[in-house]
Copies of this chain bind each other. A is one copy, B any other.
Amino acid sequence: MNQIINRQIQLASRPQGKPKTEDLKLVEEALNETAEGQVLVRNHFLSLDPYMRGRMNASKSYAKAVEVGEVMTGGTVGEVVESRHTDFKTGDMVVGNGGWQEYSLIDGALCRKVDPSWPSPSLALGVLGMPGVTAYTGLENIGKPKAGETLVVAAASGAVGAVVGQIAKIRCARAIGIAGSDEKCQYVKTTLGFDECLNHHDPALSVKLKEACPDGIDVYFENVGGRVFQAVQPLLNDFARIPVCGLIAHYNDTQLPDGPDPTPRLMRDILVKRLTYRGFIVWDFASQENEALKTLAAWIAEGKLQYREDFINGLEHAPQAFFGLLQGKNFGKLLVRLH
């Protein structure tokens, strides 16, 4: 057994700025034996997420960097083909951090069975996985949208943004999205039910955002930074909450933008408007994961929560799909179908 030839994508070199094709390489190698406590998983789906760009850098972040020559980190859903952990048996569908590869040996303590009642196991990487729980816990603990308040979120058709806005609507707040194309904006309004969605390529973004938020902004769920943040800032109301979850506009930056240095203005706003900026990572609220998944799954079953998956076929196409993700080329939760 385990004479399987595995295909995986490794970090070949640390990107400077925008990652290039040569920074990732496809490698074939024989799998190790499944050790005691591990499960061998044949991965069906690999999740591609913006945070992975950070893992490609050497610099300290909230998680350790991927080393050059290591398999790229990433969430996976797949089928157990051999189990040496008592909680799992062959045929179980599990979610875990299997990395960018077709087969993974995962410590059983670090993976979880996918609820077979869910519409598709791939949802365990999106609306019923890390992105959905990120949206849920960021709002429950920090954003706290109240009825009648206005919430703004960018990347609104993406895995996290779509859930953020729909939860705001469920909480009877107004949801204003920002997305990267007119088609995405249409989807965000029509299918996801946001009150408005603006195209961030529109040169009049600031003006239009002001029009879309006549009562100001009470919650800004920050996942992009850059121009959107600049458009949002002057519209923040007293006591607004800003969960800081991602900054995709800056992940490829190699230097700081030109001045002036607006820090004193930002801090004055924080003081005068009594703003709360708070960064978080989904696992800070690990104890709320079960509650979040139960609630999100119920909303899906009730038709209150929509989702969209954007599939790419084949591990070899993961790098280009990931580069596209950093430029907003995906439309919905980006997944690589591996088998």
Chain A residues close to B by CB (< 8 Å): 60-62, 222, 225-226, 229, 238, 244-247, 250, 253, 255-281, 284
Give the chain B neighbours of A250 by CB distance below 8 A: 264, 267-268
Q: Show 27 residue pairs from A and B whose CB-CB distance is below 8 angstroms, ordered by the A residue.
A: A61-B272, A62-B272, A62-B273, A225-B267, A226-B264, A244-B270, A247-B268, A247-B271, A250-B268, A253-B264, A255-B260, A256-B260, A256-B261, A257-B264, A258-B259, A259-B261, A260-B261, A270-B277, A270-B278, A274-B279, A274-B280, A275-B277, A276-B276, A276-B279, A277-B277, A277-B278, A278-B278
Residue of B nearest to A274 (CB): B279
Residue of B nearest to A265 (CB): B256
Known contacts A271-B244, A274-B279, A276-B277, A262 near B263 by CB under 8 Å: yes
- Looking at the assembled complex, report how far the CB atom of A23 sits from the nearest CB atom of chain B, in whole angstroms: 21
Give the chain B neighbours of A261 by CB distance below 8 A: 256-262
B245, B267, B274: which contacts A271 (Cβ < 8 A)? B245
Q: Is the beta-carbon distance between A275 and B278 smaller than 8 angstroms?
A: yes
Q: Is the beta-carbon distance between B229 and A267 smaller than 8 angstroms?
A: yes
Q: Is the beta-carbon distance between B274 and A284 smaller than 8 angstroms?
A: yes
Most buried by B among A253, A267, A274: A267
Complex CA distance for A215 and B271, rounded to whole angstroms: 27
Q: Is the beta-carbon distance between B274 and A276 smaller than 8 angstroms?
A: no
Residue of B nearest to A233 (CB): B263
B61, B245, B260, B272: which contacts A257 (Cβ < 8 A)? B260
Task: Report the 7 A-B pairs with minimum CB-CB distance, sorted nearest first.
Answer: A259-B259, A256-B260, A271-B279, A270-B279, A250-B264, A257-B261, A274-B279
- Looking at the assembled complex, report how far the CB atom of A254 sits from the nearest CB atom of chain B, in whole angstroms: 11
Most buried by B among A222, A244, A253, A280: A244
Residue of B nearest to A258 (CB): B259
- Looking at the assembled complex, report how far the CB atom of A205 sits from the nearest CB atom of chain B, in whole angstroms: 17
Complex CA distance for A257 and B273, rounded to whole angstroms: 22
Known contacts A257-B259, A259-B257, A272 near B279 by CB under 8 Å: yes
Complex CA distance for A266 and B255, rounded to whole angstroms: 13
Give the chain B neighbours of A257 by CB distance below 8 A: 259-261, 263-264
Most buried by B among A226, A268, A269: A268
Complex CA distance for A253 and B43, rounded to whole angstroms: 58
- Looking at the assembled complex, report how far the CB atom of A199 sits from the nearest CB atom of chain B, in whole angstroms: 22
Complex CA distance for A273 and B62, rounded to whole angstroms: 7
Q: Is the beta-carbon distance between A267 and B244 smaller than 8 angstroms?
A: yes
Q: Is the beta-carbon distance between A266 and B263 smaller than 8 angstroms?
A: yes
Give the chain B neighbours of A246 by CB distance below 8 A: 271
Residue of B nearest to A222 (CB): B267
Most buried by B among A260, A276, A277: A277
Give the chain B neighbours of A268 by CB distance below 8 A: 247, 250
Complex CA distance for A181 and B255, rounded to whole angstroms: 36
